[in-house]
C-alpha cells in the first residue's frame, strides 16, 4: 500500500496543478467569429504553404495557436476591453481546427494518380473517382479543382469534415467523464494550454502576476531559440538555393557513425529546447521509463543482429532505413504485443473495481472525500454548471457516426468487410480508446495498436486497391479527453465548442479549398517551388503503393513482418515488467513510459526530455518548492508562443519572396 499511496500522491499533485474555476461561461461571440475568419484566411494558407515547403507543419501547430490568441488579446487590451478566459480558449480551439487543411489531401491525391510509380504498378488506374479523377482528366482540365471531375472528391471531403466534427462529442466525451470525473486522473499536459490561456487573460491584472511573468520568460526563450531553429532556415531558404541550418532539422543522425559498435541500432538526437520543458511537465517516472525504452535497443539490437533476428540491416543504413528494417524483422510484432500488454493492464485497473475485488476499506480510501455517490452515479450525473450533456447522447453520437461510415464504405466498395468493422466499433474501439484515455490521464501520452486496419483489409480476402480509400472507421478517442479537460480548466461551457464548430467549419472548408487551388495554380505540386513535397512525396507514394499492392497480387509486407512468437514476447515483457514493479514497490508509470520509448524507436526525443525531468525534479523543484509544478506548464506555453511568433515572421518572409519573385525577374 505504501507504493500505491506514493503513486496516488504524485497523480494527485498533478491533478491540483490547476483547478477549474467556480464560474463557467460561454466563450463564443462576435469577436470569436472575427477570429474564425482570420484563422481561415490568414493562418491556414500559411500552414499549408509551410507544409509543402519545409514539412512538419504540425510541429508548429500549438505555436500557431498561441500566436493567434496573443494577437487578439493584445488588440482587445488596446481597445480597453480584455478578452475573457473563455473567449481566449475558443480562439485557441479554432486555431487548432484551422491548422490542418482538409483539402490539402486533394493536392496529394492529384499527385498520386499522376505518379509514374503508381501508374506502373497499376494502382493509379484503380483509385476511385470520389478520391481523385484519373490522370488524363486532371491533365486535360489543368491545375484547378473547379471542374466537374473534382465535384465528387470535394463533396466527399466536405462531408467527412462535418461528420468528424460531430463525432468529437461522442465516445471521447464519455471517456472524459469516466477518466476525469470518476477516476480523477491528473491529465498532466492539460494545464499547459489552460495555464497559458489563464496567463494571457490575467496579464493586465495583479491577481496572479507570476503567470504572466512565467509566460513572458517562456516566450522570450521560444523567440530566441526560434530565431536560430526556424527563422534562419526559413529566410535563407527563400533567398538561397539551400537553407542554412545552424541546428539540424529534424535531428542529427549518428546511426552510420556508430554502426561498427552498435549494429542495427538507430541512434539520432533532436536538439530542441522545448523538449527540456516538456520533460519537466510530463510525470518524472514516465520520462524515465521512456528513456529506458529508448536506450534498451542499444544493448538488445546488436545481440538480435548477431543471432540473425535483425537480419535485414546492413552497414551504411541511416536511422530511417534502420528503423524500417528493424520493424520488419522484430519490432513491429514485439511493439504490438507490448502495447496489448499495456491495454490489458489498463483494463484490469477498471475491471477490478467493477468486479468488487477491491476491499471496502481500499474503496473508501480511493473514493473522493468530498462526495459520496458511487462511480456510476458520478458518471451519469451531469454537471449543470459546466454545461454537461448526457453520456447516453454521446454514446448515440458514436453509434450514429460508426454506422454511417460503415454503411457508406459498404455502399462505395463492393465486397467491403463490414462485419469486421462492426466488431471493432462494438469492442476494439472502446477498449483501445479507454486505454489511450487512461494513459493520457496518467502520463500525458497516447497509445494505439498499429496496422489493425491494414491487417483487416489483407485478411478479408478483398482484391483491388479501392478498399484502401474506404472511409472505414477505426478511430482512437483517447486523445480527445485532454481537450475536454482543458475546456473544463478554463471554465468554458461545452456549448461554446458546438457553436464554434457550426461557424468555423464552413469557413475552414471554403478557405481550404480556395488556398489549395491557389497553391496548385502558383506551381505544380510537387515541384521545385515546394521543396519538401518534391523530396518526400515520391518516397511516400512508393510506400503507399507497396501497401496497396498487398491486396492485388503477390505477398504482403505485413505478413512478412508479422510473427506471433515475437508478439507473445512483447505481451510477456509488458505484463512481467508490470508485475515486477508491483512486487518491488516501484512506480508502475515506468511501464507506460517504456511503451512510449520503444514505440519511438530512437533516443531522438528522450535525451533532452530526460535532462528536463532531472533538472525539474532535483534542482528547480527544490529551489522553487511546490510552486514549480505550477510555473513550468506556463513556461512551456509561453515557449510555444515565442516559437510561433518567430515561425510566422519567417514564413511571411518566404511567402512574400515567392510572390514577388516573378515581378523581379
String of DSSP letters for 527-581: STTSHHHHHHHHHHHHHHHHHHGGGTSS--HHHHH--HHHHHHHHHHHHHHHHHH
d(CA 10, CA 334): 30
Residue 595 C-alpha cell reads as 511503451
Under 8 Å between Cβ of 435 and 342: yes
What is residue 398's predicted lDDT score, i.e. its pLDDT? 94
Nearest alpha carbon to residue 329 among 301, 355, 348: 301
What is residue 356's predicted lDDT score, i.e. its pLDDT? 41
Dihedral of CA atoms 489, 490, 494, 499 in degrees, nearest 10, equals -160
State the DSSP code for 21.
P
Under 8 Å between Cβ of 43 and 98: yes
The vertex-205 CA angle with 203 and 209, nearest 5°, equals 65
What is residue 10's predicted lDDT score, i.e. its pLDDT? 56
Nearest alpha carbon to residue 451 among 531, 333, 365, 538: 333
Cis peptide bond N-terminal to 526, omega within 30 = yes
Q: Which residues contact 109 (CB under 8 A, 6 or more apart)?
A: 127, 131, 132, 153
Number of domain units in the chain = 1
Q: Which residues contact 398 (CB under 8 A, 6 or more apart)?
A: 167, 170, 171, 174
What is residue 364's predicted lDDT score, i.e. its pLDDT? 43
What is residue 399's predicted lDDT score, i.e. its pLDDT? 94
**Per-residue buried b or exposed e for 439-475, using 16+ beta carbons within 10 Å of the residue's own CB:** bbbbbbbbbbbeebbbbbbbebebeebbbbbbbbbbb
The pair phi, psi for residue 151, each rounded to 5°, is -60, -45
d(CA 545, CA 235): 35
**Per-residue buried b or exposed e for 374-386, using 16+ beta carbons within 10 Å of the residue's own CB:** ebeebeeeeeeeb
d(CA 76, CA 521): 37
Domain holding 427, by residue range, is: 2-664
d(CA 664, CA 451): 50
State the DSSP code for 40.
I
Q: Which residues contact 11 (CB under 8 A, 6 or more apart)?
A: 185, 186, 283, 442
d(CA 432, CA 445): 13
Running along the chain, 665 residues long, what does each successive block of 10 average in pLDDT? 50 63 83 80 73 57 64 72 81 78 86 86 86 89 88 93 90 88 78 70 60 82 84 75 74 86 87 85 84 87 90 85 80 80 66 42 44 66 81 93 94 90 89 82 66 78 86 86 87 88 88 87 76 70 74 64 84 86 79 70 78 91 84 79 72 67 50
Nearest alpha carbon to residue 502 among 24, 27, 33, 31: 33
Residue 169 C-alpha cell reads as 462529442
d(CA 367, CA 182): 9
d(CA 130, CA 134): 10
State the DSSP code for 461.
T
d(CA 638, CA 634): 6
Residue position matching grid coordinates 500549438: 62
What is residue 396's predicted lDDT score, i.e. its pLDDT? 94
What is residue 64's predicted lDDT score, i.e. its pLDDT? 60
Q: How many CB atoms lie within 10 A of CB 240?
A: 9
Cis peptide bond N-terminal to 275, omega within 30 = no
Under 8 Å between Cβ of 641 and 196: yes
Q: Which residues contact 45 (CB under 8 A, 6 or more apart)?
A: 511, 515, 518, 519
d(CA 226, CA 642): 7
Under 8 Å between Cβ of 72 and 83: yes
Tell me the helices (H) and strands (E) count for the chain, helix number first. 32, 2
What DSSP line would sit under 196-232, residue for residue? HHHHHHTTTSSSSHHHHHHHHHHHHHHHHHHIIIIIH
State CA 225 to chain mean position distance: 23
Residue 462 C-alpha cell reads as 478483398
Nearest alpha carbon to residue 170 among 399, 409, 434: 399
Q: Where are the alpha helices (DSSP H) in 424-493?
A: 429-443, 452-459, 480-489
What is residue 651's predicted lDDT score, i.e. its pLDDT? 65
Under 8 Å between Cβ of 478 and 435: yes
Amino acid at each position: 500500500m505504501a507504493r500505491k499511496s506514493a503513486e496516488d500522491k504524485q497523480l494527485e499533485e498533478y491533478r491540483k496543478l490547476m483547478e477549474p474555476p467556480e464560474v463557467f461561461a460561454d466563450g463564443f461571440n462576435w469577436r470569436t467569429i472575427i477570429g474564425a475568419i482570420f484563422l481561415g484566411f490568414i493562418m491556414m494558407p500559411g500552414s499549408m504553404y509551410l507544409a509543402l515547403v519545409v514539412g512538419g507543419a504540425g510541429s508548429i501547430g500549438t505555436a500557431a495557436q498561441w500566436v493567434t490568441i496573443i494577437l487578439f488579446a493584445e488588440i482587445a487590451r488596446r481597445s480597453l476591453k480584455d478578452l475573457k478566459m473563455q473567449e481566449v480558449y475558443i480562439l485557441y480551439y479554432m486555431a487548432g481546427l484551422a491548422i490542418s487543411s482538409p483539402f490539402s489531401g486533394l493536392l496529394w491525391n492529384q499527385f498520386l494518380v499522376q505518379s509514374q510509380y503508381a501508374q506502373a504498378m497499376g494502382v493509379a488506374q484503380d483509385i476511385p473517382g470520389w478520391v481523385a479523377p484519373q490522370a488524363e482528366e486532371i491533365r486535360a482540365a489543368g491545375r484547378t479543382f473547379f471542374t466537374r471531375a473534382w465535384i465528387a472528391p470535394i463533396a466527399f471531403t466536405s462531408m467527412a469534415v462535418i461528420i468528424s466534427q460531430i463525432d468529437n462529442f461522442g465516445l471521447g466525451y464519455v471517456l472524459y467523464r469516466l477518466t476525469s470525473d470518476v477516476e480523477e486522473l491528473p491529465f498532466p499536459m492539460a494545464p499547459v494550454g489552460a495555464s497559458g490561456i489563464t496567463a494571457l487573460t490575467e496579464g493586465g491584472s495583479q491577481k496572479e502576476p507570476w503567470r504572466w511573468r512565467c509566460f513572458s520568460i517562456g516566450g522570450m526563450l521560444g523567440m530566441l531559440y526560434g530565431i536560430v531553429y526556424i527563422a534562419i532556415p526559413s529566410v535563407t531558404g527563400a533567398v538561397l538555393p539551400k537553407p542554412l541550418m545552424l541546428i539540424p532539422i529534424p535531428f542529427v543522425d549518428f546511426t552510420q557513425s556508430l554502426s561498427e559498435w552498435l549494429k542495427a541500432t538507430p541512434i539520432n538526437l533532436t536538439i530542441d529546447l522545448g523538449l527540456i520543458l516538456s520533460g519537466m511537465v510530463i510525470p518524472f517516472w514516465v520520462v524515465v521509463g521512456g528513456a529506458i525504452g529508448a536506450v534498451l535497443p542499444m544493448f538488445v539490437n546488436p545481440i538480435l543482429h548477431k543471432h540473425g533476428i535483425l537480419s535485414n540491416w546492413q552497414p551504411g543504413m541511416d536511422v530511417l532505413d534502420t528503423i524500417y528494417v528493424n520493424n520488419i524483422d522484430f519490432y513491429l510484432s514485439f511493439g504490438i504485443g507490448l502495447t496489448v500488454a499495456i491495454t490489458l493492464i489498463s483494463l484490469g485497473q477498471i475491471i477490478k473495481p467493477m468486479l468488487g475485488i477491491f476491499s471496502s476499506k481500499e474503496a473508501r480510501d480511493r473514493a473522493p472525500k468530498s462526495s459520496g455517490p458511487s462511480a456510476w452515479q458520478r458518471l451519469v450525473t451531469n454537471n449543470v454548471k459546466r454545461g454537461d450533456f448526457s453520456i447516453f447522447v454521446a454514446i448515440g453520437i458514436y453509434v450514429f457516426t460508426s454506422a454511417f461510415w460503415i454503411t457508406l464504405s459498404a455502399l462505395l466498395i463492393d465486397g467491403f468487410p463490414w462485419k469486421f468493422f462492426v466488431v471493432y466499433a462494438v469492442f476494439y474501439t472502446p477498449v483501445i480508446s479507454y486505454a489511450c484515455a487512461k494513459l493520457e490521464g496518467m502520463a500525458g501520452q497516447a497509445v494505439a495498436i498499429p496496422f489493425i486496419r491494414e491487417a483487416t483489409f489483407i485478411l478479408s480476402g478483398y482484391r483491388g486497391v479501392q478498399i484502401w480509400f474506404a472511409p472505414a472507421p477505426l478511430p482512437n478517442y483517447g486523445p480527445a479527453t485532454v481537450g475536454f479537460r482543458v475546456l473544463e480548466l478554463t471554465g468554458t461551457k461545452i456549448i461554446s465548442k458546438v457553436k464554434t464548430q457550426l461557424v468555423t467549419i464552413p469557413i475552414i472548408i471554403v478557405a481550404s479549398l480556395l488556398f489549395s487551388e491557389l497553391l496548385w495554380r502558383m506551381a505544380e505540386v510537387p515541384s521545385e517551388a515546394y521543396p519538401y513535397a518534391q523530396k518526400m512525396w515520391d518516397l511516400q507514394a512508393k510506400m503507399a503503393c507497396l501497401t496497396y499492392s498487398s491486396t492485388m497480387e503477390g505477398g504482403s509486407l505485413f505478413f512478412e513482418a508479422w510473427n506471433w512468437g515475437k508478439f507473445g514476447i512483447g505481451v510477456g515483457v509488458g505484463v512481467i515488467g508490470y508485475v515486477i514493479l508491483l512486487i518491488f514497490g516501484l512506480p508502475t508509470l515506468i511501464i507506460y513510459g517504456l511503451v512510449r520509448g520503444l514505440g519511438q524507436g530512437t533516443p531522438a526525443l528522450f535525451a533532452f526530455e530526460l535532462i528536463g525531468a532531472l533538472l525539474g525534479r532535483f534542482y528547480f523543484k527544490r529551489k522553487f518548492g511546490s510552486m514549480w509544478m505550477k510555473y513550468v506548464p506556463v513556461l512551456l506555453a509561453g515557449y510555444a508562443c515565442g516559437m510561433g511568433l518567430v515561425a510566422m515572421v519567417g514564413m511571411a518572409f518566404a511567402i512574400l519572396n515567392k510572390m514577388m519573385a516573378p515581378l523581379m525577374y
